[in-house]
Amino acid sequence: MDGKSLDKALDIYSALITGQEVSRSNPDTRELYEEYYSNSAVYDITTQLMKKMNLTVYEYNEAIYVTAGEGNRVFGYTNDDMKRQLGLRLNKELYMVYFIMYNVLLSFYQDSASYQVKEYVKIEDMVAQVSEYLSSITSDLSVYAMDEISEESFKSIALLWDELPAVTSDDKEKNRASRASRYGYTKLTFNFLISQRLFVEVEERYYPTDRFKAIAENYFEEYKGKIYKVLGGEVDA
């Protein structure tokens, strides 16, 4: 193994896991980006290293991004980690946030053939979309034929959402993220997505970043819309 190539691969690994943007447009990491693409030894070592660490590398728009693989307890979040991060107490509250996140994904990507169908999303739009999806899912008797964990998850989400008011009197005025309303839950979810550099907010409009696009588009290629099928999507989605 070439020592120089190993050093470059480790530099790329270090940059990615510390949240740096490794791209052609970033002057601080342009050299690393070029090494990754032009040096096959660096590329091979980097991808092998990422695989060993249960990390996945995604490429998008002349940049590379990394995300934790499924079950990665070092670089990813457990459910308990997520509850602490979001200030939640109950599993059903966390399921609700996950469901909102997935609806955010679907609002931009319906399937692998329809990337980037809109430029941004607003909280009001997402509240309406979540309500519509939950209504369609819970009215489908096949939901209750799923395994117990999935069944209880969907039931708890539907009941929690149904109990919440659409908005409280000071949600919009204070731009609150809370568990007091549907608006508050959605705002809480977007705050987390912003903290993960997946979205940026401009005048109450939420725009997906290239990092989001890289992860979302590769999701459909890797998982073939598994969750989308559960939510009633097309078999080939």
171 pLDDT exceeds 80? Answer: no
How far apart are alpha carbons 168 and 160 in whole angstroms? 16
Tell me what the mean pLDDT of segment 152-172 comes to: 76
How far apart are alpha carbons 161 and 159 in whole angstroms? 6
224 pLDDT exceeds 60? Answer: no
How far apart are alpha carbons 203 and 156 in whole angstroms? 33
Q: Which residue has the tokens 């660096």?
A: 42
How far apart are alpha carbons 196 and 129 in whole angstroms? 23
Q: How far apart are the first and last CA of the chain?
A: 42
**141: pLDDT confidence band, cut at 50, 70 and 90?**
very low
Tell me what the mean pLDDT of segment 157-180 comes to: 75
145 pLDDT exceeds 60? Answer: no
How far apart are alpha carbons 109 and 86 in whole angstroms? 25
Containing 58, the helix (H) or strand (E) segment is: strand 55-59
**69: pLDDT confidence band, cut at 50, 70 and 90?**
confident
Longest CA–CA separation in the chain, Å? 63
3-state secondary structure of 213: helix
Q: Which residue has the tokens 């469901």?
A: 99
Q: What confidence score (pLDDT) does residue 32 get?
A: 95
**46: pLDDT confidence band, cut at 50, 70 and 90?**
very high
| Inter-axis angle of helices 148-163 and 123-138, nearest 10 | 130
How far apart are alpha carbons 179 and 188 in whole angstroms? 8
Q: What confidence score (pLDDT) does residue 218 get?
A: 77
Token digits of residue 131: 């309500």
pTM, 2 dp: 0.80
3-state secondary structure of 57: strand
107 pLDDT exceeds 80? Answer: yes
Q: What confidence score (pLDDT) does residue 177 get?
A: 78
234 pLDDT exceeds 70? Answer: no
For the range 67-71, what are the long-range contacts, defined as Cβ-Cβ under 8 Å and sequence gap of 24 or more?
Answer: 67/215
